[in-house]
Structure 1
Amino acid sequence: MAEASTFVGTHYILGSWYKPGELGKRSAIFTSSGLAGTLFSGVLQGAVYQFIIDGIITLPIALYGFLIFPDVPATTKAFYLSEEERLLSSDRMSTDTSRKPLSWNLAKRVLTRWRWYACSLLFAISGETESFGSNNLMGQWLSAIGYTVEQVDYYPSGVTAFGIASTIVCATWTDHTRARWPVLIYMSLACTVAAICILVWRSPTGLKFFAYYLAGASYSGQATTFAWANQICADDDQERAIVLASMNMWNNVVNAWWPLVLYPATDAPRFRKGMIAMICTCAATLGATWLVWYVERREWRHKGRLERGAVANGGDGDEIDRKDADTSEKLDDAKA
Structure 2
Amino acid sequence: MGTSNLMDYIKGHESAPGEGKLVQKIDFFILTFCCLSYFMNYLDRSNLTAAYVSGMKTDLKFHGNQFNVINTCFTVGYTVGQVPSNIALRYIRPRYFFPGMMLAWAGLTMCSAAAQHPRDLMAIRFFQGIAESSTFVGTHYILGAWYTETELGKRSGLFTSSGLAGTMFGGFLQTAIHSGLNGTGGLAGWRWLFIIDGLITIPIALYGLFLFPDTPRSTKAPYLSDHERALAISRIPDEKEALPLNFSFLLKVLSSWQWYGFVMLWVIAGETESFSSNSLISLWLQKKGGYTVSQLNDYPTGVPAVGIVSTLFWATLTDYYGGKRYLVGYFITVVGLVTSIMILVAGSQNTVSFVAYYLAGTVYACQATFFAWANDAMRFQDETFRGVVLASMNMMSNAVNAWWSIIFYGATYAPYFTRGMWAMIATCIALGLWTTGLLWMTVKAEKKRLAVSGEAIEAKEANLEGRNTETLSEKV
SS of equivalent to 1:257 = helix
Give runs of aligned pairs for residues 262-281 of structure 1, distance below 5 A. Answer: 262-281=408-427
1:62 paired with 2:205, answer yes
CA distance in 1, matches of 2:241, 2:285: 52
Aligned counterparts, 1:206-285, within 5 A: 206-236=351-381, 237-285=383-431
| Superimposed CA distance per residue, residues 64-90 of structure 1 (whole angstroms, 9 cap, x where no aligned partner) | 121222211011111221111111111
Aligned residue for 2:273, secondary structure, equals: helix
Say if 2:241 is the partner of 1:112: no
**Contact 2:408 2:423 (8 Å CA) reproduced:** yes
1:171-220 deviation digits (Å, cap 9, x = unpaired): 00011112001112112211211110001134742222111111001110
How many residue pairs get aligned? The number is 316
- The one of 152, 169, 172 equivalent to 1:40 is 169
Q: Is the 8 A contact 1:159 1:212 kept in 2?
A: yes
2:294 is matched with which residue?
150
1:193 aligned to 2:338? yes
> Gaps (5+ residues) in structure 2?
1-129, 179-188, 464-476
Distance in 2, matches of 1:230 and 1:304, equals 17
Find the residue that maps to 2:131 and give its secondary structure: coil
2:235 corresponds in structure 1 to 92
C-alpha deviations, 1:72-122, integer Å up to 9, x for none?
101111122111111111111124278665455533432332001111111
| Contact map agreement 2:272 2:363 (CA 8 A) in 1 | yes
Per the normalisation by structure 2, the TM-score is 0.63
Distance in 2, matches of 1:143 and 1:105, equals 52
Q: Which of 187, 191, 215 is the aligned partner of 1:72?
A: 215
> Bigger CA drift: 292-301 or 203-212?
203-212
Partner of 1:7: 136
Q: Work out whether residues 73 and 97 of structure 1, in 8 Å CA contact, stay in contact via their aligned partners in 2.
A: no
- The alpha-carbon distance between structure 1 residues 316 and 289, as it changes in their structure 2 partners (threshold 3 A), is farther
Q: Which amino acid in 2 is paired with 1:2?
A: A
Are 1:182 and 2:327 matched, yes or no?
A: yes
Amino acid in structure 2 at the alignment position of 1:230:
N
Cα 1:86–1:105, aligned 2, differ >3 Å: closer, same or farther? farther
Q: For 1:215 and 1:95, how far apart are their aligned partners in 2?
A: 41
Distance in 2, matches of 1:202 and 1:2, equals: 40
**Residues 136-175 of structure 1: pairs in structure 2 closer than 5 A:** 136-145=279-288, 146-175=290-319
Deviation at 1:222, TM superposition (A): 0.4
Report if the CA contact (8 A) 1:167-1:223 is conserved. yes
Q: Deviations over 1:200-246 (max 9, x none)?
A: 13474222211111100111000111101101111112211111111
Q: CA deviation at 1:18?
A: 0.3
Change (3 A) 1:93 1:308: closer
Q: Deviations over 1:132-152 (max 9, x none)?
A: 111221122222222222222
Letter in 2 for 1:114: W
CA contact (8 A) 2:242 2:384 kept: no
Q: Which amino acid aligns with 2:279?
A: N
**Which digits, 9 at most, give the CA deviation of each residue in 1:8-46, with x for residues without a partner?**
111100000001110000011111111101001112243
Q: Tell me what 1:124 maps to.
A: 267
Aligned partners of 1:200 and 1:37: how far apart in 2?
31
CA distance in structure 1 between the aligned counterparts of 2:316 and 2:240, rounded to whole angstroms: 26
Q: State how far apart, in whole Å, the 2-side matches of 1:61 and 1:169 are.
A: 27
Aligned partners of 2:243 and 2:249 also within 8 Å: no
Identical positions, percent: 48
Q: Distance in 2 between matches of 1:140 and 1:112?
A: 41
Deviation, structure 1 residue 158: 0.8
Give the residue type in structure 2 aligned to 1:75.
S
Give distance in 2, aligned partners of 1:306 and 1:82.
Answer: 35
Which amino acid is the alignment partner of residue 299 of structure 2? Y
CA distance in 2, matches of 1:310, 1:195: 51
Does residue 29 of structure 1 match 2:158? yes
Q: Distance in 1 between matches of 2:405 and 2:248?
A: 38
Specify the alignment match of 2:147 in structure 1: 18
**Partner letter of residue 286 of structure 1?**
G
Secondary structure in structure 1 of the residue aligned to 2:223: coil
Residues 97, 213 of structure 1: alpha-carbon distance in 2 compared, 3 angstrom cutoff: farther
How big is each residue's C-alpha offset from its partner over 1:253-277, in whole Å with a ceiling of 9 and x where there is no partner?
0111111110011111111011111
User: TM-score if structure 1 supplies the norm length?
Assistant: 0.88
